[in-house]
Amino acid sequence: MSSSVEAITVLSSDGDEFKITVSAAKLSKPLNWMLEDVCFSDDCDEVPTIEVNSKTLVKVIEYCEKHAPRANSGASDSDAEELKKWDIEFMKMDVKDILFHILMAANYLHMEGLYDLACQTAADLMKGMTVSQIRKIFHIKNDFSSEEQEQLRRQHPGCSFD
Amino acid sequence: MENICKVCLLDLPNSILECILERLSPSELCKVSTLCTFLREKIRTSEHLWEAILKRKWGRVIGDSALREWHRFVAFRKASSSEAKSRSSNTSETSGTSSFKSDWPIIITIGSSSRNISQWTDDSFPDDSIMDLCISLEIGLFWFPAQLYNERNDWTIQNWHDAMLSYDSRTDTFKARYPLHGWSEVGGNVGWDKVRAPAVDISPFSVYASNSIIHDLKPGDHIEIQWRHSLQYPFDWWYALISHVDTCDGRGSACRCHDNDQLVLEFIEYPIESYWRRAVLSRKVACYKEQGNQRFGFYGGIRKIQTQDEIARWNKEILPISNP
Residues B118-154 have pLDDT tens digits of 455 444 555 668 888 998 898 888 999 999 988 766 6
Do B158 and B256 lie in one domain? The reply is no
Q: What are phi and psi of B180, to 5 degrees?
A: -65, 155
Helix (H) or strand (E) holding B317: helix B308-322
Q: What are phi and psi of B27, to 5 degrees?
A: -70, -35
Query: Which pLDDT value is given to residue B45?
Result: 86
Residues in B closer than 8 angstroms to A144, CB to CB, are 34, 36-37
Q: Global pTM?
A: 0.77
Indicate the Cα dihedral angle B52, B56, B58, B60, nearest 10°.
130
Residue A162 domain-assigned? Answer: no
pLDDT of residue A97 exceeding 90? no
Query: Would you put residue B31 in left (φ > 0), alpha (ψ -120 to 50) or beta?
Result: alpha
pLDDT at B271: 85
CA distance A157 to B173: 26
Number of domains present in the structure of chain B: 3
Domain of residue A53 covers 7-127
Domain C-terminal end among B148, B165, B196: B196
Among partner residues A99, A131, A135, which is closest to B5 by beta-carbon distance? Answer: A99
The interface predicted TM-score (ipTM) is: 0.87
CA distance A143 to chain B (A): 6
Q: Are residues B271 and B148 in the same domain?
A: no
Residue B245 lies in a domain: yes
Residue A153 within any structural domain of the chain: no
The answer to whether residue B2 sits within a structural domain is: no
Quick one: closest CA in A to B2, which residue? Answer: A137
Residue A160 in contact with partner chain B when CB distance is under 8 A: no
Task: Tell me if A101 sits within 8 A of A55, measured CB to CB.
Answer: yes
A161 is a domain residue: no
pLDDT > 90: percent of chain B: 39
Q: Are residues B147 and B174 in the same domain?
A: yes
Tell me if A157 is assigned to some domain.
Answer: no
pLDDT score for B88 = 47
Whether residues B265 and B291 fall in one domain: yes
Do B247 and B304 reside in the same domain of the chain? Answer: yes
User: Of A45-49, B48-52, B68-72, B292-296, which gets the smallest average pLDDT?
Assistant: A45-49
Q: What is the pLDDT of residue A75?
A: 62
- Alpha-carbon distance of B293 to B103, in angstroms, equals 25
Taken as a whole, chain B contains a residue count of 324
Using a pLDDT cut of 70, give the percent of chain B over it: 81
Give how far B17 is from chain A: nearest CA, Å. Answer: 9
Q: Is residue A136 part of a domain?
A: no
Nearest CA-CA partner of A114 in A50, A75, A60, A70: A60
Question: Which residue on chain A is closest to B124 by alpha carbon?
Answer: A155
Could you tell me if B119 lies within 8 Å of chain A, comparing CB atoms?
yes
Q: What is the pLDDT of residues B68-118, one digit of tens each?
A: 999 988 888 777 765 655 554 444 455 444 345 677 888 877 554 444 444
**pLDDT surpasses 70 at B258:** yes
Please, which contacts does A62-66 make with residues 24 or more away whose CB atoms are closer than 8 Å? A62/A90, A63/A27, A63/A90, A63/A111, A63/A114, A64/A20, A64/A24, A64/A25, A64/A27, A64/A28, A64/A31, A64/A111, A65/A20, A65/A21, A65/A24, A66/A90
Closest CA in chain A for residue B14: A104
Q: Of B134, B168, B196, which residue is a domain's last? A: B196
Interface of B with A in 31-60 (CB under 8 A): 31-32, 34-39
Chain B residues whose CB is inside 8 A of the A159 CB are: 30-31, 34
Q: What CATH number should be reported for the domain holding residue A83?
A: 3.30.710.10
Q: Is A117 part of any domain?
A: yes
A35/A2: higher pLDDT: A35
Mean pLDDT confidence for A102-125: 93
Digit-coded pLDDT (tens) for A15-72: 999 999 888 988 998 888 887 777 666 555 677 888 899 999 999 999 999 998 877 6
Tell me what the mean pLDDT of segment B245-265 comes to.
87
In a domain, A134, yes or no: no
Domain count, chain A: 1
Q: Are residues B227 and B121 in the same domain?
A: no
Shared-domain flag, residues B29 and B74: no
- Both B237 and B263 in one domain: the answer is yes
- Look at residues B164, B196, B228 and tell me which one is the last residue of a structural domain: B196
Average pLDDT score, chain B = 82
Do B243 and B191 lie in a common domain?
no
Query: For residue B311, is it within any domain?
Result: yes
Do B30 and B92 sit in the same domain of this protein? Answer: no
Name every chain B residue with its beta carbon within 8 A of the beta carbon of A134. 31-32, 35
Q: Please report the residues numbered 85 through 114 in chain A whose beta carbons come closer than 8 angstroms to any beta carbon of chain B.
A: 96-101, 103-104, 107
Task: Mark whether B180 and B294 lie in a shared domain.
Answer: no
Neighbour-count burial of A93, counting CB atoms closer than 10 A to its CB (0-12 exposed, 13-18 middle, 19+ buried): exposed
pLDDT score for B74: 87
Q: How confident is the model at residue A160 (pLDDT cuts 50, 70, 90)?
A: low
pLDDT band at B1 (very low <50, low <70, confident <90, very high): very low
> Are the Cβ atoms of A140 and B23 closer than 8 angstroms?
no
Same domain assignment for residues B72 and B118 = yes
Give the domain extent around B114: 64-196
Candidate from A122, A124, A131 with C-beta closest to B34: A131
